[in-house]
Structure 1
Amino acid sequence: MIAATGTALTPLSAPVARAEDGYDLWLRYARADAPRGAGLAAHATAIVAAGTSPTLTIATQELQRGVAGMTGTTLPLSATIQQGALLLATPASTPSLPVKTDGLGSEGYAIRSMTVDGKAVTVIAANSDVGLLHGAYHWLRLAQSGESLDHLDISSAPKIGLRLLNHWDNLNGTVERGYAGESIWDWWRLPDWKGPRYADYARANASIGINGTVLNNVNARSDSLTAPYIAKAAALADIFRPYGIKVYLSVKWTAPMELDGLKTADPLDPAVAAWWKAKADEIYKAIPDFGGFLVKANSEGQPGPQDYNRTHADGANMLAAAVKPHGGIVMWRAFVYAHDNPDDRAKQAYTDFKPLDGKFADNVIVQVKNGAIDFQPREPFHPLFGAMPKTPLMMEFQITKEYLGQSTHLTYLGPLFEEVLDADTFANGRGSTVAKVIDGSLEGHRLTGIAGVANIGANRDWSGSIFNQADWYAFGRLAWDTSLSAEGIAREWTKMTFSSDPKVVQPVVTMMMGSREAAVDYMTPLGLAHVMGTGHHYGPAPWVSDLARPEWNPVYYHKADVNGIGFDRTKRGSDAVGQYAPVVAKMLTDPRTTPERDLLWFHHLPWDYRLKSGDTLWDGLIHHYDGGVRYVADMQTTWASLKPYVDAERFAETEAFLTIQHREAQWWRDASIAYFQSVSKRPLPAGSAAPAHDLDWYKAQSFPYAPGHN
């Protein structure tokens, strides 16, 4: 690895700018200015670590690496406590540990400034070495961000048990919906060649508390379960284990038929159950701490138990029985839709899964996307959250931006994650937030989880752009603690990624915090959804209406005509509002009490309907499109002002991507207006420019090689 060192952001004795390619993510450990460096050195004179496990060795080496980068001095290991030392200890290693670790579980930690043996030290305490590793990363986060290291009194433990990345990586090296290059898993050369990038991947994940990774695409190939590929997964598991990270595999339902010639994949067939038990035994022999299986079944053409007139619970429970003796789990995805539910695709997951509440085995968790359609720029929270009190549900967010400009648009996802987690389901009265559903506190579930579809690829910067790294970071931080704010996370990330100088932090954070809302405005304002180009989901295509299945067509979702626009999900329409708790359903039934951000998701309204601003719906729609484009232009201006403070390489890349984003935001705005104006027959409001081209021009655009399409 080529480490990226100091930049021109906070000059030392001389302003020397070094090129940075983004590889080091938020673990740059850039040189601190003189006052901050001196303070840091005073709080890190040595490391006293009670133990020599692989995990503890990683923790001490990370502290040494961080302090050396920030101060230029080597942090020695010491067997005795000295003034200013960092003391890492567990109750098992240090029975007289002066810090209580009750309630921290196996992953949490405490950090205390205190006096031990008459010397002022910083104690990082935990119940396990993995907890110490997480604590070390927290201390380094404070140090990098320029926070005070005096008088620390921190206790932190994850609120959610399973905090996973879902890689949609294929065995041929491509990544479905991946916009950062090829897969980082070099399946062809594993298990023999294990490059350094795997450990760097584990470092990054451990630093934000991610504790599991699903290695392969949910649109799985049976080959992933063959002996050669199990050995490859085991090689990765060996690397990740000291970082507290388990590996999981997505499985194809018909693997018993494809690999060993079984005549059926019926989950109630004893031979099928026996096959999966033997396969689980084989995997656990190679990977003793294997996490379990992720399953996509009976969705988008994937096979599943419904092919045999069985339920999702039948399928999940059969797999759960196979992995349970080993302590494994099954994550069963609720992302299902099919042409036999023609009135509203948004209703199908609830329709399929709600009747199964309480019928899943205790080592099954149902994985539910944040919204009922498919990772749109904005969706209301999924109605299943709060509707299955007897079943553990885990969240599935998308970190990769399939519908949000892919790799080049600066659209910070922290506000999206926060918006969904804070949404109130009213399942058990006010305060029954989605976060409380998935952390188990609402219904007392012990099996809890959250997953993010990874945006990681082989690009040098990991995520396709520097600012896309913030989405990976925000997911991990919120997975650990759902009460954190998106703005606070953005501030942390900016300080570690660019500089703790307020002249950099404030404008960057301001850009980030409004960027996702801007994208909603120029793509899908006021509750519109799924108007993207079909297949590749790149760019606008609200006119598409000729695909075989109705729910594949954008016109299905907006239903625009001369009289109005929007999808009626009230009782007069599909009655999708009936899938929410009564308090929520009542609010969403009336357009006047429906949040305007979701207005057209739930209502088909006339073009002259009055918004709260006083605008007609038509004029307000245009103003949202204009506002989104204007925000991107403002981000360009802000970023240009930061040129003196950002290294040339990362500045130039972001400048170029903002240029792309502005051009594409204008395209989104113009193409959408051209189409909806052709339907509504209405003039543009005063001050709004006509689209640059006629509608036929926008319809003629074609993108057969758009990235990320499977």
Structure 2
Amino acid sequence: MKRLICCLLLISTLSYGDDGYRLWLKYDLIKDVAKREEYARSFQFIAVSNQSPILMNAAQELQLGLQGLLGKSVPIITDLGKRKGGVYLNEHKDFSNHINYKDDGYAMSNSDNIYILANKGVGVLYGTFALLRYIQTGRSLTSLPLINIPKVQYRLLNHWDNTNGTIERGYAGESLWKWYELPATVDPRYRDYARANASLGINGTVVNNVNASARFLTAEYLEKVAALANVFRPYGIRIYLSVYFPAPKVIGGLKTADPLDPEVRKWWADKTKEIYKLIPDFGGFLVKANSEGEPGPQDYGRTHADGANMLADALAPYDGIVMWRAFVYKADPKADRFKAAHEEFTPLDGKFDKKVIVQVKNGPIDFQPREPFSPLFGNMPKTPLSMEFQITQEYTGFATHWVYEAPIFKECLDTDTYVHGKGSPSGGATVASVVDGSLHNYAMTAIAGVANTGSDRNWTGNPMAQANWYAYGRLAWDHTLSSEAIANEWVKMTLTSEPKAVKTITNLMLKSREIYVDYNTPIGLSRPWSGVHFAPEPWQEKSPRPDWTAIYYHRADSIGLGFDRTATGSNALAQYRPEVQQKWNNPETCPLPYLLWFHHVPWTKKLSSGRTLWDELCTRFYTGADSVGWMQQQWAQVKPAVDPAIFADVTGRLATQHKEAIWWRDSWVLYLQTYSKQPIPAPFPKPERTLDDVKRLSEIYKLR
């Protein structure tokens, strides 16, 4: 009751301006009186089959939501007698014939009562949030789904948070986790974080950075992690840890971290046992090893499989897994970073323990605004592959640029791999079918998203970035959902239900990614390195390693632009199936979005658009930057329908985005023009600043 009162007080204060804290769980009174009364008739009581923590959380969330949405206090009862006009939240293992126990699924129906049935309490919780989503988005309760089962088993967020409170690639303040206060003081915000994730069906959280500190495996920090696990558990969320591979040396006092050394293996077994004593439902380990300077099994002449299997052995007595990241590449000036993961991991297919999932980034390079799918997907039929998406906007504008990421996720998931000839226009062998296990019959399936949350009151810095957290969670549960449907849901639940405004904002969201790509990296340009991963520095050529320069990727010269990955170049295309190679191998037919990923194209080459490469680039850079002005105009139109505080926040960020889009445009155009020697085509004006001007601006930016 105390919690309910606090939440209602928060709702009342938000009438003075929405600070974004409630995310998509905004249970504001439905303005349509007839619709409100229609819903109210179905909610005379909430009945629970037991009073377990998870089931009671479901009942209390429904009670809170109905109080706000309908303005009606609905009692929670434990009497499951014959009543009508209520909601029955029923956990019962007998439903296992209809719902896969491991899949957290639920059944929902509406007759004399609304029934949410599952064989696990967490399934009932997910069904409860789904019911609230139906009400928030104004859908009819007569069309409740019969059965809803997640397509992926492990649905996780990866937090890149550090012991000192910083977040690697974080743009929304400091870490959510107040390590210096834990375990004695548990911030109430942790529970709201768990609620938000449970509402999407996310069931796992890796709380620390993949560039891990061994300190997280000390007794001091394991107690802190256990305190978080206690908060997450009643919401069906298991906690995981990123681990530092040489921990046996750093904190264990051993002389080696060799995964085949008996003492090392015993150390990990003992440490795992210690963890499970504190956290009985501990989820397992995430590992970044032999990547970007991080130590790993290769330091001892061992393979990734040797390292992963050692940890799997330590987890053997428990219900935990190993997620071993495939983000690996070496500083070889003659190599193509694009090929590295495939080269290192495909020879190990079938050699990993049954508790190991190999976690693969969606693209072969590094979370670019647009990348072809990683060739690893589909090429490891004997090893479960987990998808790793990036929700935080490392390469998509930090917290100032509005980029709705669902189209990025969908573009990858829906792409056909053509594995074993099963590919078809309908997507018979899509990346999604690899990830969800249906193509290769994986025993375990997983998907991970690098989180975009932080200590900012609105969680994600840019209020519009909340949609990316939301979209990731919805797609992790059901990858068949469309980007448009998810955007429409989120707008109605978070910003406004006014039809014209919903349509305008949804349209803005759906176009935002392409607009960003046009002024940032059009036609397959790639630029995964600059000092801050954001400032435009296509001229950047000095770094400790070649693949940490910009020129390594775009290969601009007097002839043309782009990275030749055909047989005449690095031959990275050979890592894909013949049908995929056929699509991308010929520069005459290669789709424009991937052209410069695979081909070095002459500046004067006429493209399928009818323009030369140089003219097409200029057109994209200029129209992309101009389109941010269009975004500003569209956003201005929804002012009457959106909370004033959120409207003002986004208005300011769009102004910054427009300014920075022009900065990106000018940097690329002025730099590439030094190679193309071509004039800027009409009707686009020459930039008002010089190349030296934008170079100085980038240097100043890096001083932030």
Coarse TM-score class (shorter-chain normalised): over 0.9
CA distance, structure 2, for counterparts of residue 81 and residue 187 of structure 1: 49
Please give the alpha-carbon distance, in whole angstroms, between the structure 2 residues aligned to 1:162 and 1:403: 26
Residue among 586, 590, 602 paired with 1:594 = 590
Query: In structure 2, how many angstroms separate the alpha carbons of the residues matched to 1:688 and 1:415?
Result: 29
* Between 77-86 and 353-362, the greater mean CA deviation after superposition: 77-86
Checking the alignment, whether the CA contact within 8 Å between 1:113 and 1:153 is kept in structure 2 is no
Aligned pair in 2 of structure 1 residues 382, 323: CA closer, same or farther (>3 Å)? Answer: same
Q: What CA distance in whole angstroms lies between the structure 2 residues aligned with 1:364 and 1:511?
A: 40
Task: Note the alpha carbon deviations across 1:593-631, whole angstroms, 9 max, x for none.
Answer: 322101000000101112212011110111111221122
Q: Distance in 2 between matches of 1:275 and 1:6?
A: 53
Q: Which residue of 2 aligns with 1:40?
A: 39
Q: Pick from 239, 248, 256: which aligns with 1:247? A: 239
- State how far apart, in whole Å, the 1-side matches of 2:311 and 2:382 are: 19
Counterpart contact for 1:342–1:550, Cα < 8 Å? no
Matching residue of 2:558: 562
Question: Where in structure 1 are there 5+ consecutive unaligned residues?
Answer: 8-15, 115-119
Alignment of 1:414-433 (within 5 A): 414-429=406-421, 430=423, 431-433=428-430
Say if 1:704 and 1:251 are closer, same or farther in 2 by CA, change over 3 A: farther
CA distance in 1, matches of 2:107, 2:380: 35
Distance in 1 (alpha carbons) for counterparts of 2:225 and 2:442: 30
Greater alpha carbon shift after TM alignment, 608-617 vs 516-525: 608-617
Aligned-pair CA distance for 1:129: 0.8
> Relative to 1, partners in 2 of residues 1:704 and 1:55: Cα closer, same or farther, differing over 3 Å?
farther
Match of residue 163 from structure 2: 171
Q: Distance in 2 between matches of 1:620 and 1:547?
A: 30
The 5 A counterparts of 1:122-137 are 122-137=114-129
SS of 2:447's partner is strand
Match of 2:17 in 1: 19
Q: Distance in 2 between matches of 1:531 and 1:184?
A: 27
1:87 aligns with 2:85: no
Residue equivalent to 1:647? 643
Question: Quick check: 1:608–1:618 contact (8 Å CA) kept in 2?
Answer: yes
Whether 2:491 is the aligned partner of 1:494: answer: yes
Q: What are the within-5 Å matches in structure 2 for residues 505-524 of structure 1?
A: 505-524=502-521
The equivalent residue for 1:68 is: 67
Q: CA deviation at 1:530?
A: 1.3
**CA apart distance, 1:406:** 0.5
User: Structure 2 CA distance, aligned partners of 1:218 and 1:294?
Assistant: 7
**Alignment-derived partner of residue 549 in structure 1:** 545
- Which residue of the partner structure matches residue 537 of structure 1? 533
Cα distance, 1:2 vs. partner? 5.9
Deviation string for 1:451-484 (max 9, x for gaps)? 0000010000001111100000000000000111
Q: 1:109 aligns to what?
A: 106
In the TM superposition, residue 82 of structure 1 has moved relative to its aligned partner by 3.1
CA drift at 1:550 = 1.1
Q: Determine if contact 1:247/1:290 at 8 Å carries over to the other structure.
A: yes
CA shift, 1:647, in A, is: 1.2
Is structure 2 residue 614 aligned with structure 1 residue 610? no
Deviates more, 1:173-182 or 1:683-692: 683-692
Q: How does 1:296-335 map to 2 (within 5 A)?
A: 296-335=288-327
Taking a change above 3 Å as real, the CA distance of residues 385 and 638 of structure 1, as seen in their structure-2 partners, is same
For this pair of structures, how many residues does the alignment match?
690
**Cα deviations across residues 512-569 of structure 1 (Å, max 9, x unaligned)?**
001011111110000001165x121122110011223111111110111121000000
Q: Provide the C-alpha distance between the structure 2 equivalents of 1:408 and 1:324, rounded to a whole number of angstroms.
A: 45
- Contact 1:369–1:382 (8 Å) recurs in 2: yes
Letter of the 2:73 counterpart? T
Q: C-alpha distance in 2, partners of 1:26/1:539?
A: 32
Aligned equivalents of 1:686 and 1:702: distance in 2? 27
Matched, 1:483 2:480: yes
Aligned partners of 1:539 and 1:664 also within 8 Å: no
Task: Provide the aligned C-alpha RMSD in A.
Answer: 1.7
Alpha-carbon distance in 2 for matches of 1:30, 1:705? 41
Partner of residue 386 from structure 1, selected from 378, 384, 390 = 378
Counterpart Cα distance in 2 of 1:486 and 1:212: 23
Alpha-carbon distance in 2 for matches of 1:105, 1:287: 20
Identify the match of residue 361 of structure 2 among 357, 363, 369: 369
- Aligned partners of 2:535 and 2:698 also within 8 Å: no
The correspondence for 2:683, drawn from 679, 682, 687, is: 687
Q: 1:706: how far off?
A: 5.7
Q: Give 1:70's aligned amino acid.
A: L
TM-score (norm 1): 0.95
Amino acid at match of 1:40: Y
Match of 2:346 among 348, 354, 361: 354
Q: Distance in 1 between matches of 2:628 and 2:359?
A: 34
CA contact (8 A) 2:99 2:149 kept: no
| 1:158-197 paired onto structure 2 within 5 Å | 158-197=150-189
Paired-residue identity, %: 53
Cα distance between partner residues in 1 of 2:499 and 2:627? 22
Shift in alpha-carbon separation, 1:576–1:610, aligned structure 2, 3 A: same
SS of match in other structure, 1:500: coil
Q: CA deviation at 1:342?
A: 2.9
**For structure 1, which segment, 492-501 or 77-86, has the greater mean C-alpha deviation from structure 2 after superposition?**
77-86
- Aligned equivalent of 1:50: 49
Find the residue that maps to 1:124 and give its secondary structure.
strand
Please tell me whether the aligned partners of residues 394 and 449 of structure 1 are also in contact (alpha carbons under 8 angstroms).
Answer: yes
Check the 8 A contact 1:531/1:555 in 2, yes or no: no
Shift of 1:703: 5.4
**Are 1:439 and 2:436 counterparts?**
yes
CA separation in 2, counterparts of 1:553 and 1:482?
35
Moved more, 150-159 or 356-365: 150-159
> Partners of 1:227 and 1:6 in 2: how far apart?
43
Per the alignment, residue 207 of structure 2 pairs with 215
Q: Could you tell me the TM-score, scaled by structure 2's length?
A: 0.96
The amino acid of 2:417's aligned partner reads: T
Q: Following the alignment from structure 1 to structure 2, what is the Cα–Cα distance between the partners of residues 341 and 315? A: 27
User: Structure 2 vs 1, CA of residues 81 and 522 (structure 1 numbering), >3 Å: closer, same or farther?
Assistant: farther
Which residues of 2 match residues 627-706 of structure 1 at below 5 A?
627-702=623-698
2:538 counterpart letter in structure 1: P
Letter paired with 1:28: K
Deviation at 1:105, TM superposition (A): 4.4
Query: Could you say what secondary structure the match of 2:512 adopts?
Result: helix
SS at match of 2:324: strand
Code of the aligned partner of 1:177: R
Contact kept in structure 1, 2:515 and 2:625, CA below 8 Å: yes
